Amino acid sequence: MEAHAGGERLALGPAMQRKVLAVMLVNVGQVVSSDQIIDSVWHNAPPYSALSTLYTYIARLRKVDGLEIARRPGGYLLDVEPESVDLHRFRTLVRRARDLPDDSAADLIEEALGLWRGEPFDGADTPWFVQQRAAFEEERFAARLRHGDIALRCGRHGELLPELTALAAEHPLDERVAAQLLLALYRDGRQAEALRYYEDLRVRLVEELGADPSPELQLLHRQMLTGDVAIAVSDRQVAPCQLPAPPPVFVGRTDIKAELDGPVNGVVVVGGPGGVGKTALVLRWAHDHASRFPDGQLHVNLRGFDPSAPPAQADVVLHSFLGALGVLPERMPDGVDARSALFRERVAGRRMLVVLDNALHEDQVRPLLPGGNTSLVVVTSRNRLTGLAVSDQARLVTVPMLTDDEAVTLLTERLGGARLEDSAALHDLIRLTAGLPLALAVVAARALAHPAFPLRALVKELQDEHSRLDALDAGEPASNVRAVTSWSYRRLSPAAGRLFRLLGVHPGPDIELAASAALAGARPAEVRRLLDELIRAHVLEQPAPGRFASHDLLRAFAREETTPEEARKALGRVLDHYLHTGFAAERQLSPHWPPIDLAPPHLDVTPLRIGSYDEAIDWFTAERAALLACADLAARNGWDVHAWQLPWVLSTYLTRSGHWDERAASQRAALAAARRLDDHTALAEVLLLLGRGHSVQGDQPRAIDELTEALTSYRTITNRTGEGITQFSLGLAHARRGDPATALEHAQQALTLFRGTGNRAWETFSLTAVGWYHVLLGEIDLAADIGTAALRLLDEVGDRDCEAHTHRMLGVVQQQRGDHAAAAVHHQRARELFRGLGDSYSEAATADQLGDSFQALGDNSAARESWLRAETLFEALGLPEADTVRAKLAD
């Protein structure tokens, strides 16, 4: 430690006295207590008379020219100009340099560093001196680093090399020093030496710290290898062109491209499941519209779902973007916020495209948004980044599967015309790949790799549900549908992942919340949250409000991930849900039909409450496909009770809505299940419904055989209500066969049985049937009396189905009597009731008869309107009666 005044060196006394002065110099302008000075100078070994010794040293120092030491309450104050002390002048110069241009800043920092001579407090070893020495050396080191940054920005890499080489030797593991030395060597034309130094540093870091170089240092290494202009000496504004090559074959997506053709600013989020072609779409569009962004295009793969590397960090991406925009590494600020601010500054006012591909979540994207209103940011993600729509008014676009026409075009472009002569095989491939572009690309690649193989061979591979994903593997993760799907699956929370697996085993084409809750054995509120997570991850779609679905390849992957035990338990719960909810809905449709006995549902299943006829129709309409799929699954997998009871609950709805083929197929499977169970009750119920169905479809001999066997089963179990309904149904079959006399006998037996059991609803049905068969036998007046008696019973029973059939029968009676006005009244009432019941066939038949009544009344306009309704319904049902009505319309 030295002091100078008037050009002469001052005598500061012995070493301990100089240490006292040192404490006061570090704290210049501040009151320092005696205890603080003693502890700093002597610490645990003060002299016996430390305080007296301190007073002596202070007294002597006061005699030194220029040292003003004043006594103050609590201690001593060294009252001199701070900048007369090298330490404080150093700090002042470094601080002032922050606000100056590089050239001036470099001069000040050089001056500050020139104040240093040797090691601070050399020889002083108390804790205070050791601590101060370390802190001062850290300040000096920071100033040297800052000076290096500035000198590199100023192009002074050559003159800086000796100092940087020495600094690197002092700090062999400091990566900021290494970065400066690498850049100086590179800019000095010594690239080979720079690369050798980097490799030596990398090995040293691994051996001593067990770590690789930082991402920034690795980026600088890559830039040196590629001769990146971003690390050249100049610092100019550049127009980067970072877009990867577009896909050579690209088809369709007209609607999505139109969304991107909108404003050339703001944020667009392009979402969709893995393999749907988000990146291909964006790159194709970006290259086609590059001229709209004359100031350049930036691109980064954020690796949001890449299993081989962690998601890209915003600070590293910004480092790359800023480098591409001409910011030299030594001018690169530290920290995400500072880099983001500089990025916004550099992009401000420029017309640029920023493509952020494969983003994981909103927080990964936000620091990379340029702001302003001149640039467009396009984000792709497997997640629905709805937060960006809220905070940044992003436009959200979802990429769907390819349409059939688009898929045909894609395969045609890839394979050429000769391989596509088998049109059926081509469409099977499209169906089995769900229109997923990645899957179609794999199929095309495999077809090209085996030109002698017919497309039908690929179809055969894909038709096996258990090996379908094996057939969609082109040999590397990015072209493997299973691997690409797994990247999304692994990002799900454990609970959402479990629900995704279970949704894969659900047999229906879609599912709603209550069924999802039953499948998972969880509360609907919890499942709603998990469904939202799956939708955000684009592994689940919501094709209609409250309905959830995913494409077949996702479902195939989900089933692979599900254990047999997990799947069977979930299916048992969801079958119970559909059976018990369906039963409640069926009770609303046909309260007159005797119920079957159900076992209690699983403890984790809470069936829906169906409170009205319309609610029941809506539920059956929404769940028809799922119910049929569940019945089929139950029949194939040993749930025989569900296999016959699910078709039972569906029967009324399928009959009234005209889905007769579906009803017949489900009842045939139900019959096989009932026979396996050897259950006479099940057998009787199924044979009754099966026979009634075949009768409606016109196969009366088969219907009569089945109904006769049902009658035997009901008699075996002494079920008189079932026996009566079967007699009633046999009457219908014989009447349709053209034997009204036999039909009347069965209807009268049914009437007798129901009067004996007191079942007023079925008594009314049977009475109406008796009246109808009298009509067929030509006994019109008797039929009219019976119909009137049936209407009186209906006042007590109040069954809309029976009332509709009774009015229709009376309409025919009045038509044959020649009272067309009365006939029209009955037919209109019957048609209204059938329409309200959703009984399409009966409504159509009644509308046809109503048209006849209107024509007989001379009201051709009303007749035509009624026939048009009948034609529409018959045609929708695929029935030949449509031709008969069409002939009436043509007259």
> pLDDT tens across 359-396, in order?
999 999 999 999 778 899 999 999 889 999 998 889 99
For a pLDDT cut of 90, what percent of the chain falls above it? Answer: 45
Beta bridge partners of 823: none
pLDDT for the residue 829: 94
pLDDT for the residue 306: 80
Its sign, for the CA torsion 629, 630, 636, 642, is negative
CA distance 443 to 458: 8
CB–CB of 750/731 below 8 Å? yes
- Res. 572: pLDDT tops 50: yes
CB–CB of 322/339 below 8 Å? yes
The answer, as to whether pTM is greater than 0.75, is: no
State pLDDT tens for residues 455-511: 888 888 888 777 777 777 766 676 778 888 888 888 899 999 999 999 999 999 999
CA distance 53 to 61: 12
- Res. 574: pLDDT tops 80: yes
Q: Which of 242, 225, 328 is nearest to 286 (CA)?
A: 242
Residues 89-113: what's their mean pLDDT?
83
- Give the right CATH number for 254-398 from 3.40.50.720, 3.40.50.150, 3.40.190.10, 3.40.50.300: 3.40.50.300
Residue 604: Cβ within 10 Å count? 18
pLDDT for the residue 859: 93
Query: How many secondary structure helices (H) and strands (E) does the chain include?
Result: 40, 13
CA distance 801 to 839: 9
State pLDDT tens for residues 833-855: 999 888 888 999 999 999 999 99
Instruction: Name the DSSP letter for residue 473.
Output: B
CB–CB of 864/885 below 8 Å? no
CA distance 64 to 46: 25
- Residue 295 has which token pair? 């100031």
CB–CB of 567/505 below 8 Å? yes
The larger pLDDT score, comparing residue 218 to residue 50, is at: 218
Task: Give the confidence band of 107 by pLDDT, cuts at 50, 70, 90.
Answer: confident
pLDDT for the residue 235: 45
Query: Which of 204-208, 461-465, 620-624, 663-667 has the least mean pLDDT?
Result: 461-465
- Res. 236: pLDDT tops 50: no
Query: Which of 196-210, 253-267, 570-584 has the least mean pLDDT?
Result: 253-267
Same fold for the pair 4-80 and 254-398: no
pLDDT for the residue 347: 87
CA distance 285 to 258: 10
CA distance 396 to 662: 40
675 CB burial (10 A radius; 0-12, 13-18, 19+): middle
Q: Which of 741, 711, 736, 744 is nearest to 725 (CA)?
A: 711
Strand intervals (E) in 97-245: none
Mean pLDDT of the chain: 89
CATH annotation of 4-80: 1.10.10.10
- Which stretches of 78-126 are DSSP H helices? 86-97, 102-114
Distances (CA, A) of 499 to 151, 502, 607, 729: 59, 5, 19, 45
Task: Give the confidence band of 264 by pLDDT, cuts at 50, 70, 90.
Answer: confident
C-alpha dihedral over 369, 372, 376, 379, to 10 degrees?
20
**547 backbone dihedrals φ, ψ, rounded to 5°:** -115, 140
CA distance 680 to 540: 43
Among 258-262, 408-412, 465-469, 811-815, which range has the highest average pLDDT? 811-815
Instruction: Name the DSSP letter for residue 773.
Output: H
CB–CB of 311/257 below 8 Å? no
For a pLDDT cut of 70, what percent of the chain falls above it? Answer: 98
Query: What is the b/e burial string over 107-139, where b = at least 16 CB atoms within 10 angstroms of the residue's CB?
Result: ebbeebbeebeeebbeebebebbeebbeebeee
The larger pLDDT score, comparing residue 366 to residue 437, is at: 366
Domain borders along the chain are: 4-80, 254-398, 404-482
CA distance 582 to 595: 12
Beta bridge partners of 356: 300, 379
Residues 213-224: what's their mean pLDDT?
89
Its sign, for the CA torsion 595, 598, 604, 605, is negative
- Residue 560 has which token pair? 């692979």
CA distance 147 to 446: 59
CA atoms within 13 A on the CB side of 186: 27
Beta bridge partners of 71: 76
CA distance 483 to 476: 9
pLDDT for the residue 554: 87
State pLDDT tens for residues 772-786: 999 999 999 999 999
DSSP string, 14-47: SHHHHHHHHHHHHTTTSEE-HHHHHHHHHTT---
AA letter at 652: T
**71 backbone dihedrals φ, ψ, rounded to 5°:** -85, 130
